[in-house]
Every structure is written in C-alpha cells, then in structure tokens.
Amino acid sequence: MPTISESKKGKIKIAVNYSDHNPLHIHDICMVKPATGRKVDCYFTTGHVKRFDMAYLLKPDCGPVFRPLRNRKTFLSTMTVMNGTLAFDVAGGRNDHKCVDIDPETIFEKGITVASPY
C-alpha cells in the first residue's frame, strides 16, 4: 500500500513498500495448446508454461457459462487466446464480451508447471 506524505516544501511524495509485493509479475498468456482430457497447456510471456485442468469447471452441475465446453469438439474448436488469457470463443466472431475466459492468475496459481524460465 503506498504511503503519501508532504515534504517540507509542500510537495507531495508517494512511497511504495514492495515488501509484500509479488516479485513475479505475471504477464499475459500468448499461446494455448490442448493437452489430455480437459487440460490446457498455457504459455505465458514470462516463459512459464502451466498445465491447467479445467475438469473442475466442467462438472455436470457446472453453470450455463461452461456448459457448452463439456462437449469435447466445442472445447477444442473454440479454444483460443483473447485479451492475454485462455478463452473459448463459444459465440464465434472473436467477440471478447461473449467468450468464456479464465483469469490468467488462476491459471498460473492452479496450473501445474510444465516449463519454467528459471
């Protein structure tokens, strides 16, 4: 959280404490490839590759947003990258307001590391 203070000359100073800051800045996803089952290999611009298992989102009681992706053909044919993350273009036309997308931080945290730049 930044702290704001005023200097002796009346100028405002802002200081940021990075001690609780995550040093790994997660960049966008630049490529996705289907893996086995409902797993997707997600390639981050940082060089990391994470295997994200979507099975828990596609259970029989999943909501209407994820329901079309239960069909394997739809899952594979609509998989893409939009706005820097894994997305499924279920409506067609690459409309980012009508796609199903997954937060890249969720993918990074829940995905299994396949490759790392370190």
Q: Model confidence over 28-74: pLDDT tens digits?
A: 999 999 999 999 999 999 899 999 999 999 999 988 999 999 999 99
Any domain includes 18:
no
Asked if the structure places residue 58 within a domain, the reply is yes
Contacts of residue 76, defined as CB under 8 A and 6 or more positions apart, other chains included, come to 34
**pLDDT number for residue 16:** 42
**Angle ∠(72,76,82) on CA atoms, nearest 5:** 135
- Domain limits for position 66: 23-115
Domain contains 16: no
Residue 9 forms part of a structural domain: no
| Structure tokens, 39 | 């797993």
End-to-end CA distance of the chain: 29
Residue 25 binned pLDDT confidence (cut-offs 50, 70, 90): low
Question: How far, in Å, CA of 30 to CA of 76, rounded?
Answer: 17
d(Cα 29, Cα 105) in Å, to the nearest integer? 10
Complete DSSP assignment for 9-26: TS-EEEE---TTS-SS--
CATH number of the domain at 41, please: 3.30.2020
Answer yes or no: is 71 within a domain.
yes
State the average pLDDT for the chain: 84
**Do 85 and 35 form a contact (C-beta atoms < 8 A)?**
no
pLDDT over 70 (residue 10): no
Query: What is the sign of the dihedral through the CA atoms of 78, 101, 110 and 105?
Result: positive
